[in-house]
Amino acid sequence: MAVIDTQGWTRLIRNAAVATCTDGRPYGLIPKGAIALAGSRIAWVGARKELPAELPKNVAHTDARGALVTPGLIDCHTHLIWAGSRYREFEQRLQGASYEDIARAGGGIASTVTATRAASEGDLLTLAMGRAAKLVAEGVTAIEIKSGYGLDRDNELKMLRVARTLGKRLSLTVRTTLLAAHTVPPEFKDRSDDYINCVCDEILPAAAAEGLADAVDAYCDNIGFTTAQVERVFMRAQELGLAVKLHAEQFSNQQGAALAAKFKALSADHLEHLDKDGVQAMATARTVAVLLPGAYSYLRETKLPPIELLRVHRVPIAIASDLNPGSAPLASLMLNMHLACTQFGLTTEEALLGVTRHAARALGLRKERGTIEPGKVADLVIWNAEHPAELAAQFGLVRPAAVLRNGAA
């Protein structure tokens, strides 16, 4: 057996069922495991019996008492900064209107844009912190936050600034995504190409210059933008050195996922109408498929994403909340894990990997987070559960007993 170097160890979590989320066995599970930390990083993980008898004197000990330990959960697709409420649209849909009908009648995203433009940075921060806190309470340690309800330079930057501040205020890693190409704002009505010029020439460079965007997203659909328009946005993002991702194939098949793959996108998201060519393109580019079962359920959609094709082609599958005011006002990543299993037929293991390892990849964080491996950041959750299947199998019952972020409680 290799000699374990315990130098630098600062904390040892023993007596844990460690779901490492690495390859080799289901959930990467080590039933009687231990994790050693060196400051903010994971130094060692393995079976309890492999631990050396002698440990440095000053190591702090945490007895997990047989509890499950997972990586901190990662919500890799949210729009959680907004003002106003769209409850009326929920009522309208229950009476038969579709999401698309409401959008075309000037409701939908556009109504949230009006309310968000009118809101101050401080008000948006308060609203968003309340939503993000719900995720944090579930053991989420990293999230993505998109802009997309500002749709002009100042309001898009306002949203991104709120996202950055939120990350500092809460114990949370935040990755920001500029989604200026979300919908056409009223001042560009019937001039979507002109708006795309504004996105490329004005909004994108401003966000990049201020270091406010970690990635760039667009909404590619009948009620969003065409692939030709998205391609222009992606080319500009590429010039500015920003990663891209795409809302693709949610309500129709526009071949958006294939376009995203062509640009080596981190992820293509939604994907209910994804076809085989799109799956193959994503597989080749190692673009993550981000599935959003909460939005699917909330809109009472019936077309399932091609899960089996994604599996066959080994496309990494992530699960996210899509937390937004219109199609997913559901502030729970764990609910989405559950729905991924019941609505999309994922296994409980796929659901867990979808909010850890593959979610990290979807945010460009795969070297730092998402699994319990030596060298990675010690974002860890100790649960009031013993087996990883419990996380998706029950809703609202399984909670974190403790959360370590950067190795600290």
Q: Which residues bind ligand DI6 (CB under 6 A)?
A: 79, 108-109, 112, 219, 247, 295, 322, 324-327
**Least distance to ligand DI6, CB of residue 297, Å:** 12
CA dihedral 375, 376, 378, 379 (to 10 degrees): 180
User: Is 3 strand, coil or helix?
Assistant: coil
What is the smallest separation between the CB atom of 233 and ligand DI6, expressed in angstroms? 15
Length of the chain: 409
Examine residue 75 and tell whether it contacts Fe ion (CB under 5 A).
no
Dig out the tokens for 126 from the structure: 């308060």
Q: How far is the CB of 135 from ligand DI6 (least distance, A)?
A: 17
- Residue whose CB is less far from ligand DI6, 203 or 403: 203
Among 324, 347, 14, which residue's Cα sits nearest to residue 182? 324
Return the one option of Fe ion, ligand DI6, none that residue 326 interacts with (CB less than 5 to 8 A, by type): ligand DI6
322 part of the interface to Fe ion, by CB under 5 A: yes
Strand pairing category for 380-383 and 317-319 = unpaired
Determine the interface stretch with Fe ion among 47-55, 93-101, 274-282, 317-325 (rule: CB under 5 A).
317-325
- Whether residue 45 contacts residue 93, with contact meaning beta carbons closer than 8 Å, is answered with no
Positive or negative: CA dihedral 350, 355, 356, 358: positive
Nearest approach, Cβ of residue 17 and ligand DI6 (Å): 34
Separation between Cα atoms, residue 288 and residue 112, nearest integer Å: 28
Residue 327 touches which of Fe ion, ligand DI6, none (CB < 5 to 8 A by kind)?
ligand DI6
Rounded CA-CA distance 25/274 in Å is: 30
- Closest Cα partner for 258 from 148, 249, 250? 249
Q: Give the three-state DSSP class for 127.
A: helix
Nearer to Fe ion, 71 or 150 (CB): 150
Of 21 and 271, CB closest to ligand DI6? 271
Given the complex with ligand DI6, which of 173 and 177 has the nearer CB atom? 177
Given the complex with ligand DI6, which of 25 and 303 has the nearer CB atom? 303
20 binding partner (options ligand DI6, Fe ion, none; Cβ < 5 to 8 Å by kind): none
Which residue stretch of 54-62, 80-88, 233-241, 320-328 sits at the interface with Fe ion (rule: CB under 5 A)?
320-328
173 versus 321: smaller Cβ distance to ligand DI6: 321
CB 214 within 8 A of CB 198: no
Cα 180 to Cα 207: distance, rounded to the nearest angstrom = 10
Calpha distance 16→51 (Å, rounded)? 13
190: phi > 0 → left, psi -120 to 50 → alpha, else beta; which? left
- Give 224 or 388: the residue with its C-beta nearer to ligand DI6: 224
Q: Which does 208 bind (CB under 5 to 8 A by kind): ligand DI6, Fe ion, none?
A: none
Q: How far is the CB of 199 from Fe ion (least distance, A)?
A: 17
Instruction: Please identify the residue of the shown chain whose CB is closest to the bound Fe ion.
Output: 322
Minimum distance of ligand DI6 from residue 296's CB (angstroms): 9
Euclidean distance between CA atoms 405 and 130, whole angstroms: 19
Nearer to ligand DI6, 226 or 284 (CB): 226
Q: How far is the CB of 272 from ligand DI6 (least distance, A)?
A: 10
Ramachandran region, residue 106 (left: φ > 0; alpha: ψ -120 to 50; beta: rest):
left
CB 10 to ligand DI6: min, Å: 41
Binding partner of residue 219 among ligand DI6, Fe ion, none, CB cut-off 5 to 8 Å per kind: ligand DI6
- The stretch among 57-65, 194-202, 279-287, 314-322 that binds Fe ion (CB under 5 A) is 314-322
**Which residue's CB is nearer to Fe ion, number 245 or number 376?**
245
In the complex, which residue's CB is closest to ligand DI6?
326
Name which of Fe ion, ligand DI6, none residue 325 binds, using a CB cut-off of 5 to 8 Å depending on partner kind: ligand DI6
Cβ closer to Fe ion: 182 or 232?
Answer: 182
Task: Give the residue from 320, 290, 316 showing the smallest Cα distance to 305.
Answer: 290
Q: Give which of ligand DI6, Fe ion, none residue 108 binds (C-beta under 5 to 8 Å, depending on kind).
A: ligand DI6
The amino acid at 293: P
Alpha-carbon distance values, 352 to 313, 316, 318 (Å): 19, 12, 9
CB of 224 to ligand DI6, least distance (A): 8
Angle at the Cα of 358 (from 355 to 361), degrees rounded to 5? 120
CA-to-CA distance for 350 and 365, rounded, in angstroms?
Answer: 19
Which among 319, 194, 179 is positioned nearest to 242, based on CA atoms? 179
Residues that bind Fe ion (CB under 5 A): 322
